[in-house]
Amino acid sequence: TTLAPSIQALVERRARVLGPAYRLFYETPLHPVRGEGVWLYDAEGRPHLDAYNNVASVGHCHPHVVEAIARQAGVLNTHTRYLHEGVLDYAERLLATMPGELAHAMFTCTGSEANDLAMRIARAHTKAEGLIVTRFAYHGVTASIAEASPSLGKFVQLGDAVRTVPAPDSYRIAPGELGRAFANGVRAAIADLKEHGMRPAALMVDTVFSSDGIFTDPPGFMAEAVEAVREAGGLFIADEVQPGLGRTGDAFWGFQRHGVVPDIVTMGKPLGAGHPLAGLAVRPGVLAAFGRECRYFNTFGGNPVSMAAGMAVLDVVEREGLMAHAQRVGSYLRAQIAKLAERHSLIGDVRGAGLFVGVELVTDRRTRTPATAETARIVNGLRERQVLLSATGEHASTLKIRPPLVFTEAHADLLAETLGQVLAGL
């Protein structure tokens, strides 16, 4: 592809200044300069339908959030070793969205730090090292968590104490067998740790398996795996960085779909609507050992502006009924895409919960062979038609649709219609 000169100049400047480690989305990188609701506007003023952004979960530049951040920034913002009601008010409100067992909250700036802290807490509590994750998981960028993020592929070596388990692939495993199959993977990982003289500290999973390919059904399938890790003395850490904050529609947090109460819940991305706000919720009994043995200080984590942002986001989710909205619009969107599947055999499976939707593409429905190249062409084709989404899964063959929660049926129609055009033009 030849890029417009202004885009080419930015791409080159980026490489020159930021160096070689970064990657951009799309063959034609997007240059957004303004956001509003579900729309991202590029420098030419062209609107792009954002069907991917869960950071802007309550919609880009929601006025209530913008106002709350600006107001607090004008009053006080500082590090977090002073008394301040903001962190207490937000912690209480966030914890109130969870089962009562999760009674302490701690704050960080990124999901990676939250997962890193969760691992330290789990290891302090269990006096064990092992960490079990899914085969194509992503949990973050710190050294210890990158080592537990196999989706980074050849760019990182898994840690000695890390074991991976096959994802609960609901497209290839029957619903009645899925929970058992997933739990058997966890049991095998525990056995392998044992063979190497280790015990599991935790099973850490993204509760919608977003980087493994998005697997949400049948509800409850995770319960047996959680039981298996607990029987071996390990904890269950639910990584809610992607599924959390009402997105799955049926519940506020992804783990609730499975009827389990985690020992630690980590959160990030959508909490601050773009303001860096992340953290974890934990059972007091699980935090006790870490509290005795360590001290924790995170300069920015829990600062007054972040807390104001988080409060305002929760206001919007509640006031605008975004969880029920996600449930309704997500079902509608899946139905619209399922209709496309009647005409396009490339669509193998349409799945997900609420506004977390996966569309797995296959070259052959009988063999369910991943259509990796076609998926990339569709993602880029949609981008050319100003609809933004991406691909996920081990073979990058599942369209990942995860829009701001203010996405409506009309937006779903536009997405499905455009997807239909791109599929027809392949």
Which residues of this protein are in contact with ligand PMP, per CB under 6 A? 110-112, 115, 138-141, 206, 239, 241-242, 268, 278
Min dist. Cβ of residue 242 to ligand PMP (A): 5
- C-alpha span between 375 and 388 (Å, rounded): 13
Q: How far is the CB of 153 from ligand PMP (least distance, A)?
A: 15
Which CB sits closer to ligand PMP, 140 or 352?
Answer: 140
**In this complex, which beta carbon is closest to ligand PMP, that of residue 208 or of residue 379?**
208
Contact 31, 293 (CB under 8 A): no
Nearest to ligand PMP of 80, 266 (CB atom):
266
> Given the complex with ligand PMP, which of 178 and 271 has the nearer CB atom?
271
**Gap between the Cα atoms of 194 and 355, Å rounded:** 39
Rounded to an integer, what distance in angstroms lies between the CA atom of residue 119 and that of residue 125? 10
* CA pseudo-torsion sign 278, 284, 286, 288: positive
Give the C-alpha separation, 247 to 58, whole Å: 10
The partner residues of 108 in beta bridges, in order of sequence, read 278
Does residue 214 sit in helix, strand or coil? coil
Q: Measured between alpha carbons, how far is 223 from 236 in angstroms, rounded to an integer? A: 10
Q: By beta-carbon distance, which residue lies closest to ligand PMP? A: 111
CB atoms within 10 A of CB 237: 31
Pick 110 or 144: Cβ nearer ligand PMP: 110
Distance of closest approach, residue 268 Cβ to ligand PMP, in angstroms: 4
Query: Which of 58/148 has CB closer to ligand PMP?
Result: 148
Q: How far is the CB of 243 from ligand PMP (least distance, A)?
A: 8
Residue 358 CB, nearest approach to ligand PMP (Å):
14
Q: Which is nearer to ligand PMP, 114 or 346 (CB)?
A: 114
Shortest Å distance, C-beta 362 to ligand PMP: 25
Q: Indicate the residue type of 398.
A: T
Identity of residue 76: L
Shortest Cβ 1–ligand PMP spacing (Å): 26
In 3D space, the residue among 121, 120, 110 whose CA is nearest the CA of residue 298 turns out to be 110
Encode 320-341: b = buried (16+ Cβ within 10 Å), e = exposed: bebbebbbbbbbebbebbeebb
